[in-house]
Chains A and B, each alone.
Chain A
Amino acid sequence: MEIYGFGIVAICMYIGSFIGMTLGKVLGISGNVGGVGFAMLMLVVFTNYRESKGKPLSERTQNGIRLLSALYIPIIVAMAANQNVVAAFEGGAVAFLAGGVATIGAILLVPVISKLTAGKNDVEKDLGGKRA
Chain B
Amino acid sequence: MSAVPALELIEATIHRPSWTVTADLSVAPGEWLALIGPSGAGKSTLIDMVAGFLPLASGALRIAGQDVTNAPPAERPLSIVFQDDNLFPHLSVFKNVALGLAPNRRVTRSEREAIERGLAAVGLGGKAERLPRELSGGERQRAALARAFLRRRPLLLLDEPFASLGPALRREMLSVLSEVRRGFSDPPLTIVMVTHHPEDAAGHADRVAFIEAGRIGAVGPTSQMLGETAPEAVRRYLGLDDRQDRDLERPERESS
- Chain A partners chain B: no
- B residues within 8 Å of A by Cβ? none
